[in-house]
Structure 1
Amino acid sequence: MADHTNGFRAQAPLGAQISHMLKARGVDTIFGIPGVHNQEMYRGIEEAGIAHVLARHEQGAGFMADGYARASGTPGVAYVITGPGLCNIMTPMGQAYSDSVPVLVLSSCLDEVAAKSGQLHQMLDQCGAAACVCEWSFEARDAQSAYHLVDRALAEFASRRARPRHIQVPIAALEGVATAAPAARPLAAAPAIAEALVDQVAKALNAAQKPLVILGGGAVRAAKGWRQVVGRLGAASFTTYAGRGIMGADAPLDFGSYLARPESAGVIAEADFVLAVGTELSENDLWREDLGHDAPLIRVDIDPAQLGGAPNCDLPVLADAGALAEALLTRDLGMKQGWQAASVAAARARWRAESDGERPGVAPLCDVLRAALPEDVMVYSDMTQFAYVAQEVWPMAHPGHWHHPSGFGTLGYALPAAIGGAVARRGKPTIAIAGDYGFQYTVQELGTAVELGLSLPILLWDNGKLKEIEDSMVRAQIAPNAVIAHNPDFCALARAYGAFAEAPRTHQELQDAVRAALSAGRPTLIYMTPALAAA
């Protein structure tokens, strides 16, 4: 007898039923690597009509799921094996946790670990290990528990702060025959924000003469509304790195993503009211202890944990960023004249010059690349000096189009995450930006990109060393040590995987290489060195 909701027979091994359940709930792609322990999870993938992307390492699979989620706005899903498979994906899980990305990891696990030892892939506490880097990690010992946890994860992704979840299922349970998952139930609408609270925020905005709005990653999907609110007020704005693009590339009163510049604290102190929306105002946003404000501060966040201990906050508002923007647009918001566009532009010019002075040559190359790329390009960057500069000086026309491993700060993110993003955005421009050292963490995923036929430009910045670490050591009066490693011939390595490779010598050649790579039918490594900046 068929289950017409899930399109699958009522009785089948649980591993297959889980794949059909995911398909019925909108999952169309799974990233992972099959193994003897999780092979039952693969029984139903093709039958369910789900595409599977074969990574070369579980770390790559996790970053691909992360990149897919960021690009699509829907959860990224990964299948991994017991023990080392789960351990390998924990770094991507930690990154997704830090950056609020909805990633669902499903792993197999051993049936018994307390009374038996010496088993393949055995860990003392696999579930507990994963719990250290995700919102929750649970074991489902039977079909109904597995279905409940999957639905719980998907519901929480849609209604709460999106962070990774992990579900492990014992091998025997995956192999056992199970009834098909129940039909999905629609989620109830989130409660509306209280009118009195909206009035309180609107009153504070209208009472100010120099209001300042700080927009973080939590406001990205409400960018249109917040752009209207800020514009109607005549308020100035900053965005965090994760919030880049919310205000567009040319907003006259937007200070951009320069919050980490020391002088920004003085600018923020000029405001007579500050509204911070969807941002932790964390170390990775500010790189200083305090925001710098002297005026009242209202913080808006969907995560109560962020609001409970918010320092120097006069009113914490637990609300969805989009719901608050929509509500504020129904209020009368008076135009202010306290901020001047010329002063904002002058500050941005000073801060760009500072950034260029700290890491010379990168800012002009950012201008060259930006001119060659379509406005809707989606960028995935790694922990590299090129990206540190670009996050400040590269204006973004669209929000949610630049993704960087900010909080956890892992290396090796850009290439596999860009693969996931390109899978989610087939036919749309996607690029990766990596440094010479971080690229080698996940270089093997070039094989996946070649298999998929992705027209993916990979911009590789090779300064021949761990330059950011060297600079930090020098500032700390430590003799630089262990910051130089032997690099391969990156172009030859890319070609060995079946990718294209270019080493442009002029800015024009760089632009030509990037444009060609966007329609090449396979990935293209574009090799850049500091010498190119001076070309």
Structure 2
Amino acid sequence: MKTFGTYLVELLRAYDVDTVFGIPGVHTIELYRGLPGSGIRHITPRHEQGAGFMADGYARASGKPGVCFIITGPGLTNAATAMGQAYADSVPMLVISGVNALGHMDSGEGYLHELPDQRQLMKQITAFSHTIRKMEELEPVLARAFAVFASARPRPVHIEIPIDLMAQDADRLPPAKRAAAPTRPGPIASAISQIADLAKGASKPLIIVGGGAADAAAPVLALAEALDAPVVMTVNGRGILPEGHPLAVPCTPSLKGCAELVAESDVVIAAGTEMGPTDFDPFGTGRPGFNGRLVRIDIDPEQAMRGNRADVALISDAAAALTALSAAVTPIGERNGSARAERARSEVRRNLDPMMSAGLQVMEAIREALPDSVIVGDSTQPAYAGCLAYNAPQPRSWFCASTGYGTLGYALPAAIGAALSVKDRPVVCVIGDGGIQFTLSELGSAIDAETPLIVLLWNNSGYGEIKTHMRNLGVEPQGVVIFTPNFQALAQAYGWNSVVLDHPQSLIQTLKSAAEMRQRILIEINEAQFLQLRG
């Protein structure tokens, strides 16, 4: 007999799923029956939140949806924070959970793991949440989920399966088959013509790209060079123009220099960015002024109407629209684009405080040592600096949790997920001593998963960023100085290599050696010592 749980695994494999994250429980055992021999690898975190973060990192690094098997009730609530982060950052994630048996769910009688209504909880952080009540529903619901991932603004999808249904005979169901995804929204010729005319008539054009344009690097480059237009990249858009390109502006748009670049531009083309406050007003000082004509290219019509109102709004896949636009714009000649970009970059760098300059030095040392690496950041000083002004060498090679939802503890499990999806590239986790204690046990998961990984631990003995904010607001710091364990001993207890960085200049060689030896290593940096030694 083929069980319904086994049929689910066959369907996932038909959709090219090769990795699932989860912790088996009594309510999900039947989901595991079909895994052996399926070609799908199972990774066990130490906490369901870690499963969600691993799926998130896997998805961001690969572009494929991350998939989780999660138990009913507490497993799902544990995973909710990770789903919230993925929802905020438009990350494709499929969460398949159990739910109490038909006739028992939502009863209020106190069955194991019972919640009053799991779907109502999940609806807040998903594109949709669906309860399977008969086996024939699964195939079309999975088709809907993968249509969201492939053809709409990607966000988590939750599917819950009653525990009694998982074990039922599924032999009557048709062979598992992948449904063809609908095409993504494409550009309208008249809109492309209108945008092209605006761009060609501009004397100071500007392009802004976000994570929705991560797969549009080639047309962005072609359009930027045709228009001689600087390209401002939001945090999730970094690397769309490579490090070193004269038109690249890898800076938070509201920073002095970058904001001036935006304000002086007479036509701004913003593609694949929600233009949200964590990129456009992270310090609450006000968005940059858009004094010229604004074009927004977004796959989400609602988002295109939020924030800065566009003169022209095109609802389209960013890559398709930018490809059509670059074809419609012939090279127009020098417009001082490189000089404008350089002024913005220099002004941003000049105004970074010593802490952010030190953090940026760390990020750039990683890039110099390991140019093909994927860097996964947490809410910690070097990651904050990276958000402000780090230029990744390619798309999907730098992402973090300090924007959008802004959770702590993200980077370690997300880096494990990333390492599983890009097996031939080094992965570096940048995390603070406070954040790592949220998910420290996932050091063991990396051992299980056999993933080489570099953890760069920025140690300031507590929640340094919050302490600074308290002092700046005249609040005596409370609750921000926490016990700092011996991270070297903890790393060794988990079977990791470990080292305390003795000087900033040794970072590059330490990173190179760790990557060459494919180690799992924790490199600890003492913030005060690092700042002192770098002068």
TM-score, structure 1 length as denominator? 0.94
Secondary structure, aligned partner of 2:247: coil
- 1:390 lines up with 2:382 in the alignment: no
What is the deviation of 1:25?
A: 1.6
What is the deviation of 1:258?
A: 3.0
Q: Which range moved further: 458-467 or 333-342? A: 333-342
Secondary structure, aligned partner of 2:216: helix
Q: Which range moved further: 213-222 or 308-317? A: 308-317
- 1:260 lines up with 2:254 in the alignment: yes
CA contact (8 A) 2:260 2:344 kept: no
Equivalent residue for 2:530?
532
User: What is the percent sequence identity of the aligned residues?
Assistant: 37
- Between the aligned partners of 1:496 and 1:320, the Cα distance in structure 2 is 47
**Of 392, 398, 401, which residue of structure 2 is paired with 1:402?**
398
**Of 150, 154, 157, which residue of structure 1 is paired with 2:146?**
154
- Between the aligned partners of 2:321 and 2:112, the Cα distance in structure 1 is 51
- 1:214 lines up with 2:208 in the alignment: yes
Where do residues 91-490 of structure 1 align in structure 2 (5 Å cutoff)?
A: 91-111=81-101, 112-178=104-170, 179-181=172-174, 182-190=176-184, 192-287=186-281, 288-357=285-354, 359=356, 361-373=358-370, 375-405=371-401, 406-490=403-487
What is the deviation of 1:138?
A: 1.2
CA deviation string 1:130-158 (max 9, x = no partner) = 11111111111121112221121012211
- Between the aligned partners of 2:73 and 2:363, the Cα distance in structure 1 is 42
Summarize the Cα distance change of 1:495–1:329 in structure 2 as closer, same or farther, 3 Å threshold.
same
CA contact (8 A) 2:276 2:307 kept: no
Equivalent residue for 1:3?
none
CA deviation string 1:7-53 (max 9, x = no partner) = xxxx5111111011101221111010100011000011113221101
Secondary structure, aligned partner of 1:214: strand
CA contact (8 A) 1:65 1:76 kept: yes
- 1:60 lines up with 2:50 in the alignment: yes
CA deviation string 1:194-246 (max 9, x = no partner) = 21111011011001111111111111101111111011110122111111111
- 2:41 partner amino acid: A
CA contact (8 A) 1:281 1:291 kept: no
Summarize the Cα distance change of 1:148–1:64 in structure 2 as closer, same or farther, 3 Å threshold.
same
- Between the aligned partners of 1:417 and 1:235, the Cα distance in structure 2 is 34
What is the deviation of 1:170?
A: 0.3
Equivalent residue for 2:23?
33
What is the deviation of 1:427?
A: 2.4
- Between the aligned partners of 1:343 and 1:206, the Cα distance in structure 2 is 18
What is the deviation of 1:453?
A: 2.3
Q: Which range moved further: 63-72 or 265-274? A: 265-274
- Between the aligned partners of 1:143 and 1:363, the Cα distance in structure 2 is 52
- Between the aligned partners of 1:248 and 1:511, the Cα distance in structure 2 is 20
What is the deviation of 1:266?
A: 2.5
Q: Which range moved further: 248-257 or 201-210? A: 248-257
- 2:198 partner amino acid: A
What is the deviation of 1:247?
A: 1.3
CA deviation string 1:292-328 (max 9, x = no partner) = 1111111110011112345332111101111112112
- 2:80 partner amino acid: M
Where do residues 497-516 of structure 1 align in structure 2 (5 Å cutoff)?
A: 497-516=494-513
- 1:399 partner amino acid: P
Equivalent residue for 2:34?
44
- Between the aligned partners of 1:489 and 1:26, the Cα distance in structure 2 is 42
What is the deviation of 1:190?
A: 3.6
Q: Which range moved further: 295-304 or 389-398? A: 389-398
Summarize the Cα distance change of 1:358–1:526 in structure 2 as closer, same or farther, 3 Å threshold.
closer
- 1:304 partner amino acid: P
- Between the aligned partners of 1:371 and 1:263, the Cα distance in structure 2 is 25
Summarize the Cα distance change of 1:184–1:362 in structure 2 as closer, same or farther, 3 Å threshold.
closer
What is the deviation of 1:356?
A: 3.7
Q: Which range moved further: 166-175 or 185-194? A: 185-194
- Between the aligned partners of 1:332 and 1:361, the Cα distance in structure 2 is 41
- 1:77 lines up with 2:73 in the alignment: no
- Between the aligned partners of 1:105 and 1:51, the Cα distance in structure 2 is 16
What is the deviation of 1:63?
A: 0.5
TM-score, structure 2 length as denominator? 0.94
- 1:279 partner amino acid: T
Secondary structure, aligned partner of 1:291: coil
- Between the aligned partners of 2:276 and 2:248, the Cα distance in structure 1 is 20
- Between the aligned partners of 2:28 and 2:152, the Cα distance in structure 1 is 29
CA contact (8 A) 1:82 1:108 kept: yes
CA contact (8 A) 1:66 1:96 kept: yes
CA deviation string 1:440-462 (max 9, x = no partner) = 11111100101222221100000
* Count of residues in Structure 1 that have an aligned counterpart in Structure 2: 524
CA contact (8 A) 2:497 2:520 kept: yes
- Between the aligned partners of 2:317 and 2:108, the Cα distance in structure 1 is 48
Equivalent residue for 1:5?
none
- Between the aligned partners of 1:152 and 1:523, the Cα distance in structure 2 is 39
CA contact (8 A) 1:422 1:430 kept: yes
Summarize the Cα distance change of 1:347–1:471 in structure 2 as closer, same or farther, 3 Å threshold.
same
- Between the aligned partners of 2:361 and 2:108, the Cα distance in structure 1 is 61
- Between the aligned partners of 1:188 and 1:416, the Cα distance in structure 2 is 32
- 1:78 partner amino acid: C
CA contact (8 A) 1:365 1:533 kept: no
Secondary structure, aligned partner of 1:447: helix
- Between the aligned partners of 1:298 and 1:284, the Cα distance in structure 2 is 20
- Between the aligned partners of 1:254 and 1:511, the Cα distance in structure 2 is 24
- Between the aligned partners of 1:115 and 1:361, the Cα distance in structure 2 is 56
- Between the aligned partners of 1:330 and 1:205, the Cα distance in structure 2 is 13
Q: Which range moved further: 347-356 or 20-29? A: 347-356
- 1:137 partner amino acid: S
- 1:154 partner amino acid: F
Q: Which range moved further: 129-138 or 254-263? A: 254-263
Q: What is the alpha-carbon root mean square deviation over aligned residues?
A: 1.7
- Between the aligned partners of 2:432 and 2:438, the Cα distance in structure 1 is 10
CA contact (8 A) 1:77 1:104 kept: yes
- Between the aligned partners of 2:424 and 2:185, the Cα distance in structure 1 is 37
- 1:110 partner amino acid: N
- 1:293 partner amino acid: F
